[in-house]
Structure 1
Amino acid sequence: MSQSDPLFEALPEDPPVTPGEGRNRALGRTGVLPSQAIRALIAAGEIAGAPELEDSQIQPASLDLRLGKLAYRIRASFLPGTKATVRDKLAGLTFHEIDLTKGAVLEAGCVYLVPLMEHLSLRSTVAAFANPKSSTGRLDVFTRLIADYQESFDSVAEGYKGPLYTEICPRTFSIKVRSGSRLNQIRFRRRVSQQSDEAPGRVGDKHLRAIHSDVGLVEGEAAIRDGLNLRISLAPIEPEGLIGYRARRFAGVVDVDNVGGYAVDQYWEAVHLGGDKRLVLDPNEFYILASKESVSVPPEYVAEMAPFDPMIGEYRVHYAGFFDPGFGYAEGKAPGAKAVLEVRSLDIPFIVEDGQIVGRLVYDRLTEVPETLYGQGIGSHYQAQGLKLSKHFRQE
């Protein structure tokens, strides 16, 4: 594929959406790239891997990244900055190397750096952004992408050419990984050359209200302020009266590639609502809770949850944070999937009550509808979820 492939030609910005027309009009070419555009980047050599990329890595609007053969136990997290490569900084921070080819345990509370199998050679109008996969976040594994000459985590500048690395810090559970394990994913955002927006394709509140009027982002009225605001659910799930889970410290190792292999009660403590109908988040404890709303991401969009908003509390509500196109979506039906909240209070106890706003989703346009949506034959584990742990635990 040539660099001038029509898939990437600059087209005008989308006109404003009005109710009733949002799903049917042609989309512009500014925004997040869907699966077919990711395949085009692979065919053009702008995304490559050693060994070659597998088709199963391609998600509706992102690409799963694979761990390489070695992990480096490092003293502390770091960024290379604009004048250094990751390997320039790594030499003075490494404690020891770990062979991942036969699998190895990464211990809770330690920081590791792993070169990835994938590398990039992007054109000047395409940037990349990363986040942990949903299952990674629900294990309380803090994972961030690092690239050469970059000043921020999980972000790769337009036109980047070079290797990729992932920083891994298991917080509660020690994890077993191996070469080829997939802990984070990368997505690609395109801007037309004349744009100066930091986030081209980002959906503003006015546009978001129009989408909600058209297809329904949540049931009933939507609270929209700098994105779609979500409330926490502390409504007990009968008959057990469960409202969430708190991770058990000093539990066993979790193999990230072992789906359905672990009993819930060995790793999680069930949380029930007290008589005062509120929950006190203990500092540095990790909780799995759920949103009160069921959420929908229409096929033309993706969504991302802001992980931390000091305006609504000193806690973090989502580590993975990325919602694929089609999540919770069924045309003509109410939204069908809760947002699972990975909650950690920061430094001080914090009280949450049923229905309290705890986070917000921001939506981005795709350049076009993906070939396959989330939940449609691609092994999507969380499409119709309510309160749900990661895929590693047996929900009986």
Structure 2
Amino acid sequence: MATSPDMLAEIAGETGSLAGKAGVLPRQDIRILVKRGMVRSISGEFAESQYQPASLDLRLGHKAYRVRASFLPGPQKSVAQVLGELTQDEMSLENSAILEKNCVYVVELMESLEDLPATISAFANPKSSTGRLDVFTRLIADRSEVFDTIPGGYSGKLYAEISPSSFSIRVRKGSRLNQLRFRRRGSMQEEATGFRLSDKELQKVHDETPLVDGPATIRNGLVFSIHLAGAHAGDTIGYQAQRYTDVIDVDRVGAYAIDDFWTPITAKANKRLILDPHQFYILASKEKLHIPSGYAAEMAPIDPTMGEFRVHYAGFFDPGFGVGAGGMPGSRGVLEVRSHEVPFVLEDGQVVGRLAFERMAAEPDALYGAIGTSNYQGQALKLSKHFKS
């Protein structure tokens, strides 16, 4: 179902104001940005399913450009200008096209921004399903010097850089690989600071509404560890991506057999896993998580002194994620893991990352788990939505 800006006004139930508290904008405020034409679509319409509790799904446009290398345009150039210098091939996405693994593509998105308020900046991240397919994607804006970040006051087009790593993927116009969040800052806040909760504030939140199913380890954010111990010997505790597989269509849900793409990893008596260099794994956190309705969370980059591996590619958690029976934490964090240059040993319960929490500017009018696109509520170890249960 598609909704026009006029219809969105009725959904919002008011003319809408962008004034309010500092923090991550909830979906009802994103609707106001759309209604006012600050977020636009090439088609002039937005699908209701694009609106997540604290973000807006972005859609691929009609053409993909294969480029020689990843790039940032810098303060003097548009993305289109750089594409003119680096493009190796063009392909239409009107029907569909295959993006080959280990290649880099740039696609203009259907959404753009027009006179974004100076007090509202935007930040992008891959969707959960994108990260679980090991598809590396980042947002690029005209005259930008950093990925995934749009300053307040921006007007212009938006592009997705896409680089599949483990599997070649089939995409088309309208496919959704990343999402955009908006932050409103107060008059005394810098553009990108002052949003994250301090450890003291985070401990208070946990005391009032448990963030994990047990004692919380809070150290520059909520610390989480890896789950490598099954209830019984031989239980599946993870998956390793196979190297030579068929193409995955990102718009097909529940269509693929797990064994055709993944090798199960079973629990061992020593509760240990050795990561092979440059291989991709899906694992799970030991802790069950819950993100309260007034907050959002993001997996923060791991301290490199903890090991040469990465545990997240799409690490944003919406308000309401993980709520279980009685409001207690009920969902594990699924981790996209890749070792770098050397083999690395992980032990059950080893700390592998942390969650940084931010305040919402207001509670969303619908939480994760209460909308039709909440594919990972109540998850344990879970591959992307494309695979059969």
User: Which band: TM-score by shorter chain?
Assistant: over 0.9
2:208 is aligned, of 187, 191, 214, to: 214
- Per the alignment, in what secondary structure is the counterpart of residue 29 of structure 2? helix
Size of the aligned set, in residue pairs, is 374
Over the matched positions of the two proteins, sequence identity in percent amounts to 55
Displacement of 1:378: 2.3
2:17 is aligned, of 7, 13, 22, to: 7
- d(CA) in 2 for partners of 1:106, 1:218: 38
Displacement of 1:218: 0.3
1:137 is aligned, of 112, 121, 131, to: 131
- Please show how residues 213-292 of structure 1 align to structure 2 within 5 Å: 213-238=207-232, 240-292=234-286
Q: Which position in structure 2 is the counterpart of 1:74? A: 67
RMSD: 1.5
- d(CA) in 2 for partners of 1:330, 1:36: 25
Displacement of 1:9: 2.5
Q: Which position in structure 1 is the counterpart of 2:189? A: 195
Displacement of 1:384: 0.2
- Please show how residues 141-160 of structure 1 align to structure 2 within 5 Å: 141-160=135-154
Residue range with higher mean Cα deviation, 173-182 or 305-314? 305-314
2:41 is aligned, of 44, 49, 60, to: 49
Displacement of 1:348: 1.1
Task: Judge conservation of contact 1:31–1:200 (CA < 8 Å) in 2.
Answer: no
- d(CA) in 2 for partners of 1:75, 1:367: 41
The aligned amino acid for 2:24 is V
Task: Judge conservation of contact 2:302–2:354 (CA < 8 Å) in 1.
Answer: no
Describe the superposition over 1:90-149 as per-residue Cα deviations: whole angstroms up to 9, x where unpaired. Answer: 111100101111101000110000000000021111100000000000000001000011
Displacement of 1:54: 1.6
Describe the superposition over 1:169-193 as per-residue Cα deviations: whole angstroms up to 9, x where unpaired. Answer: 0001000000000000000001023
Q: Which position in structure 2 is the counterpart of 1:101? A: 94
- Per the alignment, in what secondary structure is the counterpart of residue 109 of structure 1? coil
The aligned amino acid for 2:23 is G
- d(CA) in 2 for partners of 1:56, 1:333: 25
- Per the alignment, in what secondary structure is the counterpart of residue 131 of structure 2? helix
CA distance change for structure 1 residues 64 and 237 in 2, over 3 Å: closer, same or farther? farther
Describe the superposition over 1:311-370 as per-residue Cα deviations: whole angstroms up to 9, x where unpaired. Answer: 321111010010000001248432000000000011111111000000100011001000
Q: Which position in structure 2 is the counterpart of 1:384? A: 378
Q: Which blocks of at least 5 consecutive residues in structure 1 are unaligned?
A: 11-28
Task: Judge conservation of contact 1:314–1:345 (CA < 8 Å) in 2.
Answer: yes
Displacement of 1:202: 1.5
Task: Judge conservation of contact 1:244–1:288 (CA < 8 Å) in 2.
Answer: yes
- Answering whether residue 335 of structure 2 is matched by residue 320 of structure 1, we say no
Displacement of 1:240: 4.4
The aligned amino acid for 2:270 is D
Task: Judge conservation of contact 2:25–2:184 (CA < 8 Å) in 1.
Answer: yes
CA distance change for structure 1 residues 187 and 100 in 2, over 3 Å: closer, same or farther? same
- Per the alignment, in what secondary structure is the counterpart of residue 344 of structure 1? strand
CA distance change for structure 1 residues 280 and 288 in 2, over 3 Å: closer, same or farther? same
- d(CA) in 2 for partners of 1:60, 1:162: 25
The aligned amino acid for 1:204 is S
Residue range with higher mean Cα deviation, 56-65 or 377-386? 377-386
- d(CA) in 2 for partners of 1:331, 1:246: 31
Q: Which blocks of at least 5 consecutive residues in structure 2 are unaligned?
A: 1-8, 10-14
Task: Judge conservation of contact 2:324–2:331 (CA < 8 Å) in 1.
Answer: no
Q: Which position in structure 2 is the counterpart of 1:37? A: 29
Residue range with higher mean Cα deviation, 274-283 or 65-74? 274-283
